[in-house]
A and B are shown apart, each in its own frame.
Chain A
Amino acid sequence: MTATGAPSPGRTAPAAGGAAAGTGALVRLALRRDRIRLPAWLLGITVFVPYFYTVLGVVSPTQEALEESTALMDSPMVRLFAGPYFGFGEVTLQRSFLVYLPEFLLAAAVMSVLLVARHTRGEEQSGRAELVRASAVGRHAQLTAALAVAVLANTALGLLIALAMVALAFPAGSGLLFGAAVAATGLSFAGITAVTAQLGESSRTASGLASAALPAAWMLRAVGAVQDEAGGWATWLSPLGWPQLTRILDDERWWPLALSVLLFAAGAAASYALAERRDLGGGFVGTRPGRSTAAPWLRSPLALAWRLQRRTVAWWGTAVFAASLCYGGLGGAMDEGAVDLPAEVVGGPAVDVLDGYLSIMTVSMVFVVCFFAVVSVRGLRRDETSGRAVAVLTAATGRAAWTGTSLLVTAVSGVALVALVGLGTGLGAAASVGDGSLLPVLLGAALARAPEVLLTAGLAAALLGWAPRAFGAVWAVVVYGVCLRFFAPDLGWPDRLLATSPYNHVPRVPVEEPALVPTAVLTVLAVALAALGVWGFGRRDLDG
């Protein structure tokens, strides 16, 4: 026995799997805690398989139309957003679906980042980890459990996507490869997050650092896609590039996914090594000290509402603008593909493909902003139940001032985000089509939908005031709106049913003529609901 290998006195050799003891129980605990969240993620992502595929079918109803439009998809700009992709020389509707692969990769990555951050650093930060680690649970059990849940979640996601694709008549092998590509990407980001979770002291630092890896990977992939149609060297450096290099629906190959799995394994190994070298709750990156006094402007409920939401608004703004810019940028390809189409190919009432595409994207992005509105108003409810609201309401702030100012911030931010949707879509489309007049049209098209966001916020406020425990019902209304908007028309549901969704009344500019009445009515309704909510909140007992 060498000196370095000698065990320290009094330390007994751990039983087999000692450092991971209790992992099974922790995996079950994590699954139990995420029993709603995880299925919601999985289904929420999978549902976009039929959705995107349906949209493609609507936009390109015939093989000719498809060939016309996808031939031009091979422009560097489109590849920048979605490449590299393969087999577009002989395009099929199924192959054109690959343009959406990056969306699924991003979704799996975000899901995995949040999942791992929540179950590792999030647990430590809350102090729950201490409770768990004090029981007969190994030092690495929590990390192992988080990674195991990530593997389970991504496997399930891959299988669900594969199933959905097979159900849409994709070849089984290709569906499976597509699903595996998505799952492998989730895993690589789970590995990255396992490392970042060791570095900072808060769950947000962990997910923040890992999320910063996403745009970096995205840019590398984009650069690589432009370097070479089959992917340049930069593609090979990006965890978001490897899945695309599997050449799904062309000469398919699985081995690039080994890189993703390798990254996951490397991340896991590194995180174990880092965890060995730090204390529970400790980190390697210190938390930056903040202000020791409040800024002079932070002196009113309105200022507080803005202070609490500004970072969220900034993130949503960046994300919404970037996404809209991308979708608008794809407009050029849609347009050029449709230019030569004879009217009978488009079918029915002559709808300009570009206009149709842009209006659908505007509607979609405004729905995204509706989700912001719910999250934003939910902040009030969370402040109430956690007891933070009490701090404000027992200072000289009235109930109406507190809810009213916060709702005002929600409304103004919501309208600003909608404007960013219009601006992004408009700029992207104007640049790619080369028609500057698209910018004001699309900005107007988006802003005409702003009352939908306001109505969502108003509905959330009304629930906050009158049925706070049923606050989650507002999600159901938005999801109902999404379903009626995107799925029902294809299924030929009656107009009267469609009219029950508040999101089906503002015209789809530029396909439909702008109309002032729906916009005005929705705005009045939104204000009335918000006022009702403020009133209700003022007269009920505070929870929490």
Chain B
Amino acid sequence: MTTAVSAVDLTKAYGPTRALDGLDLTVRSGEVHGFLGPNGAGKSTAIRILLGLVRADGGAAAVLGGDPWRDSVALHRRLAYVPGDVELWPDLTGGEIIDLLGRLRGGAVAARRDALVERFDLDPTRRARTYSKGNRQKVALVAALASDVELLLLDEPTSGLDPLMEAVFQQVVGELRGEERTVLLSSHILSQVEKLADRVSIIRRGRVVQSGTLAEMRHLTRTAVEATTAAPADGLDRLPGVHGLEATGTRVRFDVDGDHLDGALKHLGGFGVLSLSSHPPTLEELMLRHYGDGEAA
């Protein structure tokens, strides 16, 4: 399997702020790679380095086998980018901008452009000045998705889109996966990454703290359990792998590590379970595990 994007030990400082602090990232060809992190974690800085807009202070990055700074123009013919906050030339219409960007990249597929304009419900005759944020975002999305490129770098691409358009976006990206195109999708919309990504990298304070498939990540995380028992459930706090126990009378709530779930449930069974709910961790909880103070618990 070839690698579309690889970054090794990237560093970048803006004055005293270390935006990237030894970031490692690997995106395999043909996968949709989720790039998750809160605002200010360094996602955009990393992507701007991969685009050759900003030069890394240290480390090495390769995009589609090339050097993102040195070979930027050649690489940009083979990739497309959508920022999270799209600014357009106020005097140009959306249609003009889509065509222009496609042509500057070396040509977009006209049929796909028209289909995307239709699907995203965009009026291409309006001047960019009159577009809402969501509409500006659509212009950039159509321009990027209509071009025939190998790699899409999407930096929180659906900010400002309504849920309907968000769904369209997910459909279109799903179709891209069928075409063996690579997508690096940076986001803090966790459900979006959950639905689309094959693999996920979690970035925090300029470093990737965890990377893998969602299945692998679940393996590392806990399950949230809430139960009501006939008799007060004692002794849970002595079980291995149980965290954050809250007990009020016959109701308990706790998190349990994946490999200790079985033991915890068996223990609960001894008190006569009246109701039980458990759910796999959402990506929100995955994030909390890395950004909250959960690690100490």
> In the complex, which residues 199-218 of chain A have their Cβ closer than 8 Å to any Cβ of chain B?
201-202, 204
By a CB distance below 8 angstroms, the chain A residues around B76 are 393-397
Instruction: With A396-B73, A396-B105, A397-B76 as known contacts, state yes or no: A290 contacts B54, CB within 8 Å.
Output: no
Instruction: With A387-B85, A395-B76 as known contacts, state yes or no: A290 contacts B96, CB within 8 Å.
Output: yes
Distance A390 CA – B53 CA, assembled complex (angstroms)? 8
Instruction: List the A residue with the shortest CB-CB distance to B104.
Output: A395
> In the complex, which residues 61-97 of chain B have their Cβ closer than 8 Å to any Cβ of chain A?
72-74, 76-77, 79-81, 83, 85-89, 91-93, 95-97
By a CB distance below 8 angstroms, the chain A residues around B106 are 396
* A393/B83 in contact, CB under 8 A: no
By a CB distance below 8 angstroms, the chain A residues around B91 are 308, 311
Distance A299 CA – B92 CA, assembled complex (angstroms)? 14
**Is A29's beta carbon under 8 Å from chain B?**
no
Instruction: With A388-B89, A541-B55 as known contacts, state yes or no: A125 contacts B129, CB within 8 Å.
Output: yes
**Is B134's beta carbon under 8 Å from chain A?**
no
Distance A293 CA – B101 CA, assembled complex (angstroms)? 12
Distance A392 CA – B72 CA, assembled complex (angstroms)? 12
By a CB distance below 8 angstroms, the chain B residues around A390 are 51, 53, 81, 83
Distance A484 CA – B242 CA, assembled complex (angstroms)? 79
> In the complex, which residues 124-149 of chain B have their Cβ closer than 8 Å to any Cβ of chain A?
124-127, 129-130, 140, 143
Instruction: With A391-B140, A542-B48 as known contacts, state yes or no: A292 contacts B103, CB within 8 Å.
Output: no
* CB of B88 to closest CB in A, whole Å: 7
By a CB distance below 8 angstroms, the chain A residues around B81 are 390, 394
By a CB distance below 8 angstroms, the chain A residues around B129 are 125, 202, 204
* A289/B125 in contact, CB under 8 A: yes
Instruction: With A294-B95, A294-B96, A396-B76 as known contacts, state yes or no: A391 contacts B53, CB within 8 Å.
Output: no
* A542/B53 in contact, CB under 8 A: yes
**Is B99's beta carbon under 8 Å from chain A?**
yes
* B96/A387 in contact, CB under 8 A: no
Instruction: List the A residue with the shortest CB-CB distance to B85.
Output: A387
Instruction: With A287-B127, A396-B106, A398-B72 as known contacts, state yes or no: A391 contacts B101, CB within 8 Å.
Output: yes
Distance A259 CA – B108 CA, assembled complex (angstroms)? 59
Distance A388 CA – B100 CA, assembled complex (angstroms)? 13
Instruction: With A390-B83, A541-B54 as known contacts, state yes or no: A289 contacts B126, CB within 8 Å.
Output: yes
* A293/B96 in contact, CB under 8 A: yes
**Is A62's beta carbon under 8 Å from chain B?**
no
* B95/A395 in contact, CB under 8 A: no
A-B contact count (CB 8 A): 110
**Is A479's beta carbon under 8 Å from chain B?**
no
Interface string of B103-120 (1 = CB under 8 A from A): 111100000000000000
Distance A295 CA – B103 CA, assembled complex (angstroms)? 11
Interface string of A246-289 (1 = CB under 8 A from B): 00000000000000000000000000000000000000000101
- Identify A291's interface contact among B83, B89, B96, B104, CB under 8 A: B96
Distance A202 CA – B100 CA, assembled complex (angstroms)? 24
Instruction: List the B residue with the shortest CB-CB distance to A312.
Output: B91
Distance A292 CA – B127 CA, assembled complex (angstroms)? 10
Interface string of B172-197 (1 = CB under 8 A from A): 00000000000000000000000000
By a CB distance below 8 angstroms, the chain A residues around B85 are 387
* CB of B170 to closest CB in A, whole Å: 23
**Is A301's beta carbon under 8 Å from chain B?**
yes
Instruction: List the B residue with the shortest CB-CB distance to A387.
Output: B87
* B89/A308 in contact, CB under 8 A: yes
Instruction: With A125-B129, A541-B55 as known contacts, state yes or no: A299 contacts B96, CB within 8 Å.
Output: no
* CB of B67 to closest CB in A, whole Å: 14
Distance A86 CA – B55 CA, assembled complex (angstroms)? 67
**Is A298's beta carbon under 8 Å from chain B?**
yes
* CB of B117 to closest CB in A, whole Å: 8
Most chain B CB within 10 A, of A202, A292, A301, is at A292
Instruction: List the B residue with the shortest CB-CB distance to A288.
Output: B127
By a CB distance below 8 angstroms, the chain A residues around B127 are 287, 290
Distance A263 CA – B103 CA, assembled complex (angstroms)? 51
By a CB distance below 8 angstroms, the chain B residues around A202 are 129-130
Distance A41 CA – B250 CA, assembled complex (angstroms)? 74
* CB of B155 to closest CB in A, whole Å: 10
Distance A541 CA – B97 CA, assembled complex (angstroms)? 25
By a CB distance below 8 angstroms, the chain A residues around B54 are 541-542
* CB of B122 to closest CB in A, whole Å: 10
Instruction: With A387-B83, A398-B73 as known contacts, state yes or no: A298 contacts B99, CB within 8 Å.
Output: yes
**Is A63's beta carbon under 8 Å from chain B?**
no
- Identify B86's interface contact among A300, A387, A395, A397, CB under 8 A: A387
* A298/B126 in contact, CB under 8 A: no
By a CB distance below 8 angstroms, the chain B residues around A307 are 92
By a CB distance below 8 angstroms, the chain A residues around B51 are 390, 393-394
**Is A408's beta carbon under 8 Å from chain B?**
no
Distance A294 CA – B143 CA, assembled complex (angstroms)? 13
* B73/A294 in contact, CB under 8 A: no
By a CB distance below 8 angstroms, the chain A residues around B100 are 294, 298-299, 304
Instruction: List the A residue with the shortest CB-CB distance to B99.
Output: A294
Instruction: List the B residue with the shortest CB-CB distance to A298.
Output: B100
* B53/A541 in contact, CB under 8 A: yes
* CB of A385 to closest CB in B, whole Å: 9
* CB of A429 to closest CB in B, whole Å: 36
Instruction: List the B residue with the shortest CB-CB distance to A204.
Output: B129
Distance A374 CA – B53 CA, assembled complex (angstroms)? 25
* CB of A180 to closest CB in B, whole Å: 37
**Is A386's beta carbon under 8 Å from chain B?**
yes
By a CB distance below 8 angstroms, the chain A residues around B103 are 294, 298-300
Distance A398 CA – B143 CA, assembled complex (angstroms)? 19
Distance A216 CA – B255 CA, assembled complex (angstroms)? 76
- Identify A290's interface contact among B86, B126, B143, CB under 8 A: B126
> In the complex, which residues 513-531 of chain A have their Cβ closer than 8 Å to any Cβ of chain B?
none
* CB of A49 to closest CB in B, whole Å: 36
A-B contact pairs, 10 of them (CB 8 A): A289-B126, A293-B124, A294-B97, A298-B99, A386-B87, A387-B85, A388-B89, A391-B87, A393-B76, A394-B79
Show the binding face of A for B, using Cβ within 8 Å.
Answer: 125, 201-202, 204, 287, 289-295, 298-301, 304, 307-308, 311, 383, 386-388, 390-398, 541-542
Query: What 4 new A-B contacts, CB under 8 Å, besides A294-B97, A395-B76, A542-B54?
Result: A387-B83, A394-B81, A396-B73, A396-B104
3 closest A-B pairs (Cβ-Cβ)? Answer: A294-B99, A395-B104, A289-B125
